[in-house]
Amino acid sequence: MAIWLTKDSKVIVQGMTGSEGSKHTRRMLAAGTNVVGGVTPGKGGQSVDFGGTTLPVFNSVGEAMTSTGADVTVIFVPPRFAKAAIVEAIDAAIPLAIVITEGIPVHDSTAAWAHNVASGNKTRVVGPNCPGIASPGASNAGIIPADITPAGRIGLVSKSGTLTYQLMYELRDFGFSTSVGIGGDPVIGTTHIDALEAFQNDPDTDAIVMIGEIGGDAEERAAAFIKANVTKPVVGYIAGFTAPEGKTMGHAGAIISGSAGTAEAKKQALEAAGVKVGKTPSETAQLMREIMQSR
């Protein structure tokens, strides 16, 4: 079992004919992902060979969905085209759109988010500026390395791509149901709370790792949700305890205002909700290891 991305997911790649899209399409195929085509406006009707797997190129997401039955799109397009690509995916009502692109202007992300809301939230948008989703042994959509960990019963949601990989590696002896990188920009389509709710409802996820970082109040809001709604054990880590005061660090969303958004404030909120919080990624992994070993 996995959340949102499963072995049955049919994936298309917006920007598949570009350098990044092509590279990661090849990698996703090697991981066993069911990639069924790509989208590049003006190149419809062409095809691309990926080491023996030939994939069709379509002019639009809607055309690709009609022809292939795709229900997931991974977006690898330059920042200036990203808003149009996201809106196109939303207009086609594809169930899941994973936006890998980094550097999308906040105004564009906000406009795309508002368009999705106005369209009835038919598309789950993950990202932007995220590593994607990996359900080990089932499917891998994005840039998360496929060989870090086997399938297991831990769910992971993270703002940080790098820390996603580290926790997956440190807990590889237990494995993961799904790892979700939500991205660290100020405006994102899927939040910690969305993933926490999905993992809480997933019968094959036993425990959850939540990785946050300084800036904003997403982790405090997640803590309130955990306290009210999550019965499974949650282990947390907040990146940025050693960040110099007054400096903007990491993702565009890592902005601190006074005491709000500090690592310590987030840690206290999570601990008040019953979450065990590690001081380092390795300590966080050890806390989860102890939980899994006691089950």
Catalytically active residues are: 251
Q: How many residues does the chain have?
A: 295
Q: How far apart are CA 193 and CA 220, in angstroms?
A: 10
Helix (H, G, I), strand (E, B) or coil at 210: strand
Q: Sort 288 into a burial class: Cβ within 10 Å, 0-12 / 13-18 / 19+.
A: buried
What six digits make up the tokens of 141? 């959509």
Buried b (16+ CB within 10 A) or exposed e, 32-67: ebbbbbbbbeeeeeeebebeeeebbbbebbbebbee
Q: How far apart are CA 39 and CA 251, in angstroms?
A: 28
Buried b (16+ CB within 10 A) or exposed e, 202-230: beebbbbbbbbbbbbebbbebbebbeeeb
Give the N- to C-terminal CA distance of the chain in Å, as an integer.
19
How many Cα atoms occupy the beta-carbon half-sphere of 59 within 13 Å? 3
Q: How far apart are CA 157 and CA 230, in angstroms?
A: 14
